[in-house]
Copies of this chain bind each other. A is one copy, B any other.
Amino acid sequence: MTTTSFDFTPLLPAGLPPAAARWTGRPKYDFTGGNNDPDALPLDGLIAAADAVLRREGRTLATYGLNSGPQGYRALREFLAAKLGRDAGMRCSADDILITSGSLQGLDLVNHTLLARGDTVLIEEDCYQGSINRLLRLGVTPLGIPLDRGGMRVDALEAALAALQAKGVRPKYIYTIPTVQNPTATVMPLERRKALLQLAADYGVPVFEDDCYADLTWSGERPPALHALSDRGNVIYIGSFSKTIAPALRVGYLVAPWPVMSRMLAIKTDAGSGALEQMVLAEYCAAHFTKHVPLLRKALRAKLVTLMESLKEQFGAAAEFDDPQGGIFLWVKLPDGVDALKLFPLAQAAGVAINPGPEWSVNKAHAQSRLRLCFANLSHEEISQGVAKLAEVCRKAFGVPA
């Protein structure tokens, strides 16, 4: 074991986040994170794909970038160009796509290319924690726009844009998850997409569209991406294989006009994203993606039903939620007396991990009694048991459910 006598503390720069704690394993009932359904993982297909692609072109692993250049494995970008055209109505070619190490690297590349300390961006009020945290760490102000059942409210967006303009502030982008929003799971209707794009054009603000969950609507239907609906080259788009294939692979993608893509490429100094994963995904997805995803949706929908039924059974009217249109999480409102940040450690101690609402919102008061519950990774039995445990903890601490 390394001794730890040297004191690094005086060398650390200002503004570092607090030290991480030692990892102590996953809780038994883990309703957090974007983990997926292990039984729905297309394992046999991935194994066959790995074998086929490695036998055919495995020796290119000896070369950075697999002879495909810095934008990533060409076959995967070609699959994506076709997939994004078919599913999201986008017109893009392999040359417009950058493969990233998860969509999180996509977030970082966009942020580091466009943002400086003191900037303002517009985001959905309830929003992916990783996006909020990234902005705060960069010293950027994320201004939250309220949501309704159609996603980001464009009336509120218009008011915010006008107010910023009156103050002489040009926000750097409008960040939205329009299709299966995280955490509310709303899907923005077509007309609102058009209205959002009109506002973006009117105010000269680019749109940053995060489409990571868009393949997971229960119906399989989805409106065209914002990227597809704009002919102005003002939409930057990111997506991921984490939700459709497997999160541990860490493969995402970014679609952007070359003037900004070329600036992002210049700061992607990682000598490429993992090649094996790109190769296996390209090989698997070209043949099987469209057959696999409906099976996954069905498995996820069934787990959601279990979660909603368990909540009704255990919490009754104390747990309010909409039936989501897709995704892997449920955004739950508990009675006002429940403080989700206080519930978190109590639940953790009982083996139940949740995402407390205030960590997934820039409106802490609005989110105080809300939770995000991910249901993909646990079995049906674990979902029921975990919800029962959570109700027990909640009852003891807050008197609800009664």
Contact = CB atoms under 8 A, between A and B. Distances in A.
Interface string A255-269: 111111011011101
Contacts of A35: 62-64
A70 B23 contact: yes
Contacts of A265: 19-20
A190 to B, nearest CB: 20
A19 B247 contact: no
A32 to B, nearest CB: 10
A318 to B, nearest CB: 30
Interface string A99-129: 0011011000000011110010000000000
A23 B71 CA distance: 9
B172 A11 contact: yes
A92 B2 contact: yes
Given A16-B267, A69-B23, A263-B19, A248 B280 contact: no
Interface string A61-75: 111111101110000
B259 A4 contact: yes
Q: Is the interface of A mostly helix, strand, loop or mixed?
A: loop
B50 A248 contact: no
Interface in A270-318: 270-277, 280
A220 interface: no
Given A2-B257, A35-B63, A105 B270 contact: yes
14 contacts: A2-B255, A3-B257, A5-B233, A6-B206, A11-B206, A16-B266, A16-B267, A19-B263, A35-B63, A35-B64, A40-B62, A64-B248, A249-B275, A250-B270
